[in-house]
Amino acid sequence: MRRYIQATAETFPVAGSFTISRGSRTEVEVVYCSIVQDGVKGVGECVPYKRYGESIDGVLADIRAVTDAISNGLGRTDLQTAMKPGAARNAVDCALSDLEAKLSGKAVAASLLASPPKAIVTAFTISLGDAETMAAQTAENAHRPLLKIKTGTVDDEARLRAVRAAAPNARIIVDANEGWTEDTIEHHLAVAAELDIALIEQPLPAGKDAALARIRRSVPICADESVHLTTDLASLQDRYDAINIKLDKTGGLTEALIMKREAERLGYTIMVGCMLGTSLGMAPAVLLAQDTAYADLDGPLLLARDRVPGLVYDGSLVHPPQTALWG
């Protein structure tokens, strides 16, 4: 058995721009990984994230470092110690999962799930802007059952009220991207509770979130930047009610499945989220999210161009991946 691995950087344009508290983007850079064995190709995608000290060049270097091991048959189990968690391992792990499925003729979904996967509701993201702009964007998507709005400024009350007024019937997740402070969080939580916000994601910076254990959480709080690995979960129980599992944080589907089981055991509400990427990056996450409370897998909907074939979206429903894409 001999395997051949390749990794390349690709760029996809964003539809308009995508803005969070850390800045705006008009394109997304991803790394595409392929592993070929006996003429069969498995593929995966990752999105290096600057917030976590990652870059395209760094991810490509990390993948190159395991080229010989992969060529000589390194499997997903040993990959977990051969590579550090993060985007690079995600691309390789998902490519190996796809390759295994195609070589065996048994889809990844059939190996993971007790019943066939179904279409699930995904959140749709409203970028950070002034209250009027966000309200207008929300009104255009008020028919969607689940919205996720980007906040994270000193005073987000006007944004919260404007968005709720524009979508009175939608469930709303507020993602502050570490942008709130100990001085502002209780006020924002009170406003969110008044407006029947379903969930607040990462309001305080990772590593500076101890205040969440001391205040009354009138709206459930979800960890994102604060949680990467299964070993993080136990130490966060006093300050978070939910966790956001992203494959680019865990380093692939293999670790994400372990994290999901442990999070369920500990009683967390689970969201499966994503970086801004293509359908290939979302495909394994759609399977991971099958029985979770929240899915935030709208990355392809925010792009001007996606992979072909891509995931099928029907409004806010995202369908399981076809094997021509992944799995």
User: What are the catalytic residues?
Assistant: 150, 246
∠ CA(137), CA(240), CA(21), 5° rounding? Answer: 35
Q: What are the backbone dihedrals phi and psi of residue 121, each rounded to the nearest 5 degrees, phi first?
A: -80, 130
For residues 86 and 29, give the distance between their C-alpha atoms in angstroms, rounded to a whole number: 15
CA distances from 83 to 38, 80, 274 (A): 24, 6, 20
For residues 246 and 288, give the distance between their C-alpha atoms in angstroms, rounded to a whole number: 10
CA distances from 42 to 10, 36, 99 (A): 17, 6, 4
Residue 32 CB neighbours (<10 A): 19
Contacts of residue 295, defined as CB under 8 A and 6 or more positions apart, other chains included, come to 120, 121, 122, 123, 271, 272, 273, 285, 286, 289, 318
Contact by Cβ (8 Å): 275, 281:
yes
Burial of 168 (0-12, 13-18, 19+ CB in 10 A): exposed
Give the end-to-end CA distance of the chain in Å, rounded to a whole number.
Answer: 21
